């Protein structure tokens, strides 16, 4: 287990370092003056010169990339050119909103998807099972931002049941929850079906195994067999998927935040794209990527902890 832990952590660090180098060399690869890209078309030559010295662009590329990596590991991602505040500070201000949204989205999907998957596996080929199958494929296929738009159109604009924009009044928990419902619905819907399918498939596999037959031979009630013995194994692929899922959720939360005008990383990046504020974009991409890498790592480690067979897969 410890060897696995060390190897997996090393892999995550290597990936993060490669990611930073890739991102940073992307700026260097773009034809033209990177400072002009960062400062936009209206910048003066003096501003560009100052920024070039600031960013150390006069040094060789390798040294620049190495310096940037060192800075990132010290928590320094540069200064926002527009507000003169540290990029990390701006990004971390917005991060909690996105994390809350993602947790809300995945939670309701888990609460609905896992029982639905178990039910479909137990009552295989029943009406509910078939309905779940169609529903799963359907909701996985529909883009999250279309669901967000339709949710906004139906529940906020036409029916006026839920608020349309913002994250709610600071300190008013009920208001904040009301603002969270639609975006969380939009980013979670596809996951309900996905999880249900996954749990159903692995549950069917587990139910055919010997130890379940043994438990059944002892005459334990079906409910206990499913929830105490089978689910413990059947949940493993779901845990592994959740790590990867964070990446997709980060992407779909960009849309949810923009459609519902919620603060968060997605909205921050989007606004920075429109103003071509490159330091902020780099910072946000880095932070979200690091979060994603850490989540997949965590999922892998939990998986390896629960299922020793996984430890060999590295």
Partner 1 sequence: MDMTNNFTARVKRSKFLSLLSRFARDPLGLFGLILVVLMVSSAVLANWIIPYDPIALDILHRLEPPSMAHIMGTDQLGRDVFSRVIMGGRIALKVALVSISLALSCGLVLGLIAGYGPPWVDRLMIILFDTIRSFPTIIFALAIVTLVGPSMNTVILVVIITTIPVYGRIVRAQTQSMKNNEFILAERAMGAGMPRILFVHLLPNIIGPLLIIASMDIPAVVTIEAGLSFLGVGIRPPTPSWGSILNDGYSFIRNTPWLIISGGIPLILTTLGFTFLGESLRDIFDPKLRKDI
The residues of the shown chain that bind partner 1, judged by CB under 8 A, are: 11, 14-15, 18-19, 22-23, 26-27, 30, 37, 134, 137-138, 140-143, 145-146, 149-150, 152-153, 157-158, 197-198, 200-201, 204-205, 247-248, 250-252, 254-255, 258-259, 265-266, 269-270, 272-274, 276, 278, 281-282, 284-285, 288-289, 292-293, 296
Shortest separation between residue 218's beta carbon and partner 1, angstroms: 25
In the bound state with partner 1, the residue whose beta carbon lies nearer, of 173 and 303, is 303
Taking phi first (over 0 means left), then psi (-120 to 50 degrees means alpha), and beta for anything else, what does residue 78 get?
Answer: left
Q: Which is nearer to partner 1, 167 or 286 (CB)?
A: 286
In the complex, minimum distance from the CB of residue 169 to partner 1, in angstroms, rounded to a whole number = 22
Q: Is 249 within 8 Å of 256 (Cβ atoms)?
A: no
Q: Provide CB contacts within 8 A for 289, sequence distance 6+.
A: 16, 19
Nearer to partner 1, 170 or 313 (CB): 313
Alpha helices by DSSP H, listed for 123-172, are 127-141, 144-151
In three state form, how does the secondary structure of 24-63 look? HHHHHHCCCCHHHHHHCCCCCHHHHHHHHHHHCCCCCHHH
Gap between the Cα atoms of 163 and 153, Å rounded: 11
Contacts of 121 (CB under 8 A, 6+ apart): 199, 200, 203, 204, 207, 234
Per the CB < 8 A criterion, the answer to whether 157 and 164 are in contact is: yes
The nearest distance, CB 163 to partner 1, in angstroms, is 14
Question: At a CB cut-off of 8 Å and minimum separation 6, what does 14 contact?
Answer: none
- Minimum distance between the CB of residue 268 and partner 1, rounded to whole angstroms? 10
Q: Output the smallest distance, CB 17 to partner 1, in A.
A: 9
Nearest to 5 by CA among 279, 311, 250: 311
Q: What is the DSSP code string of 178-234? A: HHHHHHHHHHHHHHHHHHHHHHHHHHHHHHTSHHHHHHHHTT--HHHIIIIIIHHHH
Q: How far is the CB of 141 from partner 1 (least distance, A)?
A: 4
Of the pair 35, 284, the CB lying nearest partner 1 is at: 284
Identify which of residues 160 and 223 has a Cβ nearer to partner 1 in the complex.
160
Vertex 204, ends 201 and 207: CA angle to 5°? 150
> Residues 227, 121: contact at Cβ < 8 Å?
no
Q: Which is nearer to partner 1, 52 or 276 (CB)?
A: 276
Q: Is the dihedral of CA 131, 133, 137, 142 positive or negative?
A: positive
Select 129 or 304, whichever has its Cβ closest to partner 1.
Answer: 129
Smaller CB separation from partner 1, 182 or 198: 198
The CB-of-21 to partner 1 minimum distance in angstroms stands at 9
Q: How far is the CB of 156 from partner 1 (least distance, A)?
A: 9
Nearer to partner 1, 270 or 305 (CB): 270
> What is the smallest separation between the CB atom of 2 and partner 1, expressed in angstroms?
22
């Amino acid at each position: 287990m410890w060897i696995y832990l060390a190897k997996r952590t090393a892999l995550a660090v290597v990936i993060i370092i490669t990611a930073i180098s890739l991102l940073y060399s992307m700026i260097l690869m773009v034809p033209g003056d990177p400072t002009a890209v960062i400062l936009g078309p209206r910048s003066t030559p003096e501003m560009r010169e100052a920024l070039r010295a600031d960013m150390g662009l006069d040094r060789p590329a390798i040294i620049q990339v190495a310096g940037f990596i060192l800075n990132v590991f010290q928590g320094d991602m540069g200064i926002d050119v527009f507000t003169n505040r540290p990029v990390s500070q701006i990004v971390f201000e917005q991060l909690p909103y996105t994390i809350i949204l993602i947790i809300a989205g995945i939670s309701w999907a888990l609460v609905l998807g896992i029982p639905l998957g178990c039910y479909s596996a137990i009552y295989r080929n029943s009406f509910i099972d078939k309905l779940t199958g169609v529903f799963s494929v359907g909701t996985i296929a529909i883009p999250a931002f279309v669901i967000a738009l339709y949710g906004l159109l139906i529940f906020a604009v036409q029916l006026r049941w839920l608020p349309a924009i913002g994250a709610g009044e600071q300190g008013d928990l009920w208001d904040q929850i009301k603002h969270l419902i639609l975006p969380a619905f939009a980013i979670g819907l596809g996951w309900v079906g996905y999880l249900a399918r996954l749990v159903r498939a692995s549950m069917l596999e587990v139910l055919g195994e010997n130890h379940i037959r043994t438990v059944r031979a002892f005459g334990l009630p079906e409910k206990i067999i499913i929830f105490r013995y089978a689910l413990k194994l059947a949940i493993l692929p779901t845990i592994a998927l959740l790590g990867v899922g964070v990446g997709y959720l980060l992407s779909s939360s960009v849309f949810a935040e923009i459609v519902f005008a919620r603060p968060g990383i997605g909205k921050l990046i989007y606004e920075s794209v429109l103003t071509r504020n490159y330091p902020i974009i780099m910072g946000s991409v880095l932070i979200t990527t690091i979060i994603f890498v850490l989540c997949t790592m965590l999922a892998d480690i939990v998986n390896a902890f629960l299922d020793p067979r996984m430890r060999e897969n590295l």
